[in-house]
Amino acid sequence: MSLRDLTVPELLDEARSGDRRAIGRLLTLVERGGEAADQVAKLTHPDAGKAHVVGITGAPGAGKSTLTGRLAAGLAATGHRVAVVAIDPSSPLNGGAILGDRIRMDEPIHATEGADPNNVFIRSMATRGQSGGLAVAVPGAVRLFDALGFDPVIVETVGVGQIEVDITAASDTTVVVVTPGWGDAVQANKAGLLEVADIFVVNKAERPGASDARRDLELMLDLGGHPAWRPPILMTTAVDNVGIDEVSTAISTHLGHLRESGEIDTRRGVRARSEVATRLHAFLLTRVDETMATTEGEQVLADVDDGTVAPVEAAHRLSNYI
């Protein structure tokens, strides 16, 4: 029978037994949102909370996809079941970009000895445009993988805050990838990356300026005083698989720090609360769209169009209908 005929609980049984198609189907439901997605979120909640959730972020072109693929391959080769949620900030039009990511991520897994592709599940999610969509779908996908026993679950995305998903709210450990070509630490700081990084990776480290980037980052960290955890700065050349093991080790070490310090409970508490807020926002966003589509909404918007009503007044009026 077709997967489409299965209920969410039935799909979860198939997924638990390792059916990759069932996992893919569940991810599609999570991505679409609505009642089925909420059902998945409820049913996976009890089994979730075991996986180490690792966020990998950085500017476009930093080599995040390649690094993520190498990391996943290395982890799979050492017996881990690894899940990757790759968030593509581009519009759905740009399938090419997503495809490029997939190739950069899949290739190393198939090329790495001992890395069983069945122990790696990669899912790309593109910004669908509807506000709050990804912000709700990503934690849903992470929880699903977590509940299915994938560990770690890696969330790869461009730039902190570049899309509506705040990776720091979604991860236990945040890896920030920079490149000599991308810009110096000042830019990293400007983009707010320094504040969220648990681990720094200077990728494309074979390029000129790599040591400068490292030094700039060290200086920035020095300004931050002496926190309980000082982010290590690792040099990689992901395309050549150079420095990947060190990143893997640093990620495990940071998890140890989170557990010993109890910080992991704090972070997960913050994550859960932010998910509640995000889901509430999502509910309300649908109400905004519904309200603007009502007769009253259309009338007010028509007044805005001909300039007789200011947007702020229109918003005030419409807020009474919500």
Q: What is the contact surface with a copy of itself in residues (CB under 8 A)?
A: 38, 41-42, 45, 49, 59-61, 88-91, 93-94, 96-97, 100, 127, 131, 139, 158-159, 161-163, 181-184, 186-187, 189-192, 195, 269, 272-273, 275-277, 279-285, 287-289, 291-292, 300-301, 304-305, 307, 310-316, 318-319, 322
CB of 113 to a copy of itself, least distance (A): 30
Complex with a copy of itself: residue 77 or 288, whichever CB lies closer: 288
Cα separation, 55 vs 84, whole angstroms: 10
Complex with a copy of itself: residue 19 or 38, whichever CB lies closer: 38
CB of 214 to a copy of itself, least distance (A): 17
Cα separation, 293 vs 321, whole angstroms: 11
105 backbone φψ class: left, alpha, beta (φ>0; ψ -120 to 50): alpha
CB of 188 to a copy of itself, least distance (A): 8
Complex with a copy of itself: residue 40 or 71, whichever CB lies closer: 40
Q: Return the residue matching tokens 């074979």.
A: 206
CB of 150 to a copy of itself, least distance (A): 19
Complex with a copy of itself: residue 67 or 250, whichever CB lies closer: 67
Q: Which helix (H) or strand (E) holds 124?
A: strand 120-126
CB of 216 to a copy of itself, least distance (A): 12
Q: How many CB atoms lie within 10 A of CB 301?
A: 15
Q: Cβ(80)–Cβ(114) under 8 Å?
A: no
Cis upstream peptide for 152 (omega within 30°): yes
Cα separation, 153 vs 141, whole angstroms: 10
CB of 270 to a copy of itself, least distance (A): 10
Complex with a copy of itself: residue 62 or 234, whichever CB lies closer: 62
Complex with a copy of itself: residue 56 or 251, whichever CB lies closer: 56
Tokens representing residue 125 in the block: 């999610």
Contact residues for 58 (Cβ-Cβ < 8 A; gap 6+): 64, 158, 159, 176, 177, 178, 179, 182, 193, 201, 203
CB of 268 to a copy of itself, least distance (A): 9
Complex with a copy of itself: residue 111 or 280, whichever CB lies closer: 280
Helix runs in the chain, H state only: 8-16, 20-32, 34-44, 64-77, 95-111, 133-147, 167-170, 185-190, 193-196, 210-223, 244-261, 263-293, 295-305, 311-319
